[in-house]
Amino acid sequence: MLYGIPYEILWHPGCWKQEELHRHLDGFYRQLMTPLMYRENLRYEMPDKM
């Protein structure tokens, strides 16, 4: 969820593991946002099983 808007990210599990995808996306958002913006406006919700 980014700024209160839910997003779904489609990916092919054969390319990256779920943890790798999360790490890449997290790094991307940390570069774009200030620490305060990141803490207040970004929430990850991962499905239990992929």
Q: Residue 13: which of 2, 21, 25 has the closest Cα?
A: 21
C-alpha 35/C-alpha 38 separation (Å) is 5
pLDDT at 15: 82
For residue 26, what are its two tokens? 């997290």
Segment 19-45 shows an average pLDDT of 93
pLDDT band at 43 (very low <50, low <70, confident <90, very high): very high
User: The pTM is what?
Assistant: 0.70
Torsion sign, CA atoms 46, 3, 42, 16: positive
